[in-house]
Amino acid sequence: MEFTASKKAIISINNLSKKYKDLIAVNQLCLEIYEHEILGFLGPNGAGKTTCIQLICGLIAADGGSIEFHLEKNNKSPQQNIGICPQENVFWPKLTCIEQLVFAGEMYGIELQKSKKRAHELLEWLGLNEKTNTVASKLSGGMKRRLNICLALMHDPEILILDEPEAGLDPQSKVLVRNFIKSLAGTKTIILTTHNMDEADRLSDRIAIIDQGKLLKTGSPKSLKQSIGTGDLLEIVFDHSYISSLTGIKNSLEKLNFTVTEHENKLILYSKNIMQKITEVVQQINIPVQQMNMRENSLEDVFIHLTGKKLRQ
């Protein structure tokens, strides 16, 4: 699904800035988040993702710029229309699953009976119905994560922010959570921050990559992958002792119209029909090669291409 300007923006971020002493966490960020899309929010550690989320939630004040919410369905405040599932599990450890969901519902002004009904529905959807009366601290890691998602959704928010929703989950739970997130598509606007490129690729309608507080690129996973070259990708791995020679090889390959990214002891080449050009490539390499891999390019390649670094977490 491609999102275009015809889609209705639910959040408009304009020239948003936030500074912590000398560190610019968010730098003139402009981004539109569309209604009912799943936006993958990618960036290395310290890129400014968490600060952006905190600014959107109103937990911290911006130094400049603005965030506009275009919410029409209800008269709740923007904060009350946001459900957040932070990376850390945030719940009341001494309360049972049902107790805390009902409590969270009541804090949003939902009536007790409605709150109980909604809590039971969520527990069932996320496979926690057998743990309804279990104290949260006694749940397994995966169950705690799912309870965290339930808490974020208890008040049926318009906007759902999921920070690393699959972190710490076993494969079965990952599938369950992934399917659950997919089931919300089209009914909720979801902002998904993750380091898992595969997760972002599978779930997101659109990806926004930020680094050093700046938005580097937005687009669908497919368009982003195409942006660094259509076709295949050749990854050539050298011994670390030859790192100083890589720039020279890179320059000579670029002269042959290859798109090349240098990363540590690797050179990554993007090109159509790269298999047919492999002889040309090999001729330019005058140092021993440790490994050569050919594959389709991925979001991680886009990420590295844009940020020039691997994920730091």
Partner 1 sequence: MKKIISIIKKSLIEQIRSYWILILTVTMAPFFVFVYYLINESQKPSYDVLIVNADTGVQQKNYGKILIEYTQNLKNDTMPVPLKFKEMGSKQKAIELLKNKDADALIVIPDNFSEIIEEIKNGIDTTQATIELIGDLSDIKYMISAVWTSGIAQFFVYQSVNQKSLFSIKETALGLSGKMDDFDLYMPGLLILSLIMLMFPATIAFVMEVENKTMLRLKLSEVTTFQLITGISIIQVLIGVLSIALTIVCALAVGFNISGNILNLTVVVILTSISMIAFSLIVAAMCKTVNEVLIIGNFPLLLFMFFTGAAFPINSTSNIEIFNYPLTFQSLMSPTPAVLATKKILVMGMGLNNVIPELSAIVVLTIIYFIVGLLFFHYRHMRLN
Q: Is 60 in the site for partner 1 (CB under 8 A)?
A: yes
Please, are residues 252 and 201 in contact by the beta-carbon 8 Å criterion?
Answer: no
* Closer residue to partner 1 (CB): 82 or 233: 82
Instruction: Report which DSSP code applies to 2.
Output: -
Q: Which part of the chain contacts partner 1 (CB under 8 A), choosing from 86-94, 138-146, 273-281, 284-292?
A: 86-94
- All residues at 6 or more sequence positions from 304 whose CB lies less than 8 Å from its CB, including other chains: 261, 263, 268, 310
Stretch that binds partner 1, among 25-33, 98-106, 228-236, 244-252 (CB under 8 A): 98-106
Of 92 and 242, the one with the shorter C-beta distance to partner 1 is 92
**Helix, coil or strand: residue 128:** coil
Residue 292 contacts residue 237 (beta carbons within 8 Å): yes
Are 276 and 243 spatial neighbours (Cβ–Cβ below 8 Å)? no
Question: Rule CB under 8 A: is residue 79 a binding residue for partner 1?
Answer: yes
CB of 106 to partner 1, least distance (A): 4
Is 230:259 a contact under the CB 8 Å cutoff?
Answer: no
**194, 165 Cβ separation under 8 angstroms:** yes
Nearest distance from residue 243's CB to partner 1, in Å?
A: 42
Q: Enter the tokens of residue 294.
A: 């050919």
Q: How far is CA 163 from CA 157, 167, 191, in A?
A: 16, 9, 8
Q: Segment near partner 1 (CB under 8 A), from 28-36, 92-100, 269-277, 288-296?
A: 92-100
Residues of span 40-59 touching partner 1 by CB under 8 A: 57-59
- Told to check if 77 binds partner 1 by CB under 8 A, we report yes
Q: Is 159 exposed, middle or buried (0-12, 13-18, 19+ CB in 10 A)?
A: buried
Binding residue for partner 1 (CB under 8 A) from 63, 99, 121, 232?
99
CB 157 → partner 1: shortest distance, Å?
Answer: 9
Q: Please report, as ranges, the residues that interact with partner 1 according to CB under 8 A.
A: 57-62, 77, 79-80, 82, 84, 86, 88, 90-95, 99, 103-104, 106-109, 135, 151, 155
